[in-house]
Amino acid sequence: MIFNQKYKILFLDPNTDEHYGDEKVGIILSPSLYWVKKLKLPVKSVREVKKLLPSIFEDTLTNGNYSYSAYKTSKENEYIVFAYEDKTILDLLAKQNIQMHNIVSIHFAQTELSLIHGAMKINDMQSVYIKDDILVLVPCCWIEEKGTLVLDDVKLSNHKIHLQQFGHIVNIKSLYSIGAILVLFIVLTMSELFVTNSKINHIQDLQSELFSKYNLKSTMFQNKSMLKKYTSIHSKQTKLRETFSALLGLRLNANEKINFITYKNKKLSVDFSGVGEANTSQIISALKAKHLNLSSSYDKNILHLEIKL
Amino acid sequence: MNRINPLYIAALLVGVLAFSMFKLSSAKEELGEAKRAYSKTEVIATKLSSLKEVYSNKAKIKKSLKFILNQKGVNHKFKSSSLSLSSDSLDVNALNKLMGKLLNGSYNIQGLKIKKLDNENVSFKMEIKW
């Protein structure tokens, strides 16, 4: 552990059992926490390389959820590629009491310790050294001349990784797909909501236009009340005309005449003169056939009818 | 390095989707309501407008009544919202003609009184409102 400007740099190794406090740290991963390969690929970008990494490491890795990383070396078409298991690293960080919010960045020892000279001891049993540009991990007993790893001069590079904290719980790609579908549905729903609201506004505008076009009262209650009043007038007047039509359509005998007609307060009164008693029922039934609500009285050849409209 | 659990994001998206679907459902209900209200208003407006035109258009009613009443023997008196017609003795043919015109027109007849005086004449009273 050394002090490096704003935060400490830690060498994270499963064979060291250290516990750290609550402070900001940069992490360098021990080679025992990742797999590394140097290879030449006829592709132009790191992005294309990353697509190939699962198949490149297919034979090397055991079953598990792995993440991959790659960077290009200074040589043409040469890449250093990595595979690592997020959960293993996360478990080790938790074991060494390193909180995720305290981690500034995580790097591979390959990228950060590529300039070491000779072998460097990283724990009681293991050392690291560079062989063919690859930082390899070897048992201590293999190499007699070894130094101690000092992180004082290490300046962390831009080759860092982000751990998928929940990659072991859910498949990130599936989650992205589900997320994309959800976002798509949200967009569609929101669009439809926007269109629906526009339609509502349009209909409300049309309704306002109706009010001004037909010179309606401000509330529907007033308008309904007015309509009720006029409908009542209309139905009464229609009924009055139908009743007149029924009266004037009666087939009266030669001596039968209508003497008197009066209409007031929805009531039409009619007096027929010269009507024989036997004929009253004929007149009444003829009018009742027209569905008129009437009452009658007969006195001295005069038939008096009262029709309610 | 501390990252949000993607399941939380998924849950948030599901929540947002549920909320937006709820809002959409409410909006559609509101749209249906607005359409029904519009149709109802349109029906009321057209009916009311036509009925008002028939029974409450003062100038039009007065004009047509003046045309009908341009005949002798019938007294008429225009008031602010009504017309009174009367005749102490009106020829039966004139009555038929007048009643034919009045009953065929859309007038709000409020009162009527026809009394036979003899075989040729009647007394006549009528009140029309608008």
Q: What is the ipTM of this complex?
A: 0.83
- Reported as a pLDDT band with limits 50, 70 and 90, residue A228 is very high
CATH of domain A226-308: 3.30.1360.100
Q: Are residues B84 and B66 in the same domain?
A: yes
Q: Show which of B55, B84, B101 is a domain's final residue.
A: B55
Q: How far is B15 from chain A (nearest CA, A)?
A: 10
Strands (E), B1-130: 75-78, 82-91, 108-116, 121-129
Q: Which residues of B touch A105 (CB under 8 A)?
A: 1
- The whole domain housing B7 covers 1-55
Nearest residue in A to B21, CA atom: A189
Interchain proximity A263–B55, CB inside 8 Å = no
Share of residues in chain A with pLDDT > 90 (%): 40
A294: CB partners within 8 A, 6+ apart: A284, A287, A288, A305, A306, A307, A308
Please indicate whether, in this complex, the C-beta atoms of A162 and B1 are within 8 angstroms of each other: yes
What chain A residue is nearest to B10 in terms of C-alpha separation?
A179
Where along chain A do its domains lie? 2-169, 170-216, 226-308
Residues B62 and B121 in one domain: yes
Identify the three-state secondary structure at position B10.
helix
Does the beta carbon of A223 lie under 8 angstroms from any beta carbon of chain B? yes
Residues 94-153 of A with CB under 8 A from B: 99-101, 103-106
Residues B83 and B101 in one domain: yes
Same domain, B47 and B103: no
**Does position A224 have pLDDT exceeding 90, yes or no?**
yes
| CB count in 10 Å sphere of residue A302 | 14
Q: What is the pLDDT along chain B (130 residues), one digit of tens a residue?
A: 556 677 788 889 999 999 999 999 999 999 999 999 999 999 999 999 999 988 888 888 888 888 888 766 788 888 888 889 899 988 888 888 888 888 988 899 999 999 999 888 999 999 998 8
Separation of alpha carbons B43 and B51, rounded Å: 12
Give the whole-number percent of chain A exceeding pLDDT 70.
94
- Angle at the Cα of B35 (from B50 to B47), degrees rounded to 5? 10
Amino acid identity at A58: E
What is the rounded distance in angstroms from the CA atom of residue A256 to the CA atom of residue A275?
6
CATH number at residue B113: 3.30.1360
Same domain flag for B22 and B45: yes
In this structure, the answer to whether residues B67 and B40 fall within a common structural domain is no
Q: Which residue has the higher pLDDT, B85 or A6?
A: B85
Would the CB atoms of B108 and A185 count as touching at under 8 Å?
no
Domain count, chain B: 2
Rounded Cα gap, residues A216 and A232, in angstroms:
19
Are A178 and B10 inside 8 Å of each other by CB? yes
Min CA distance, A146 vs chain B (Å)? 34
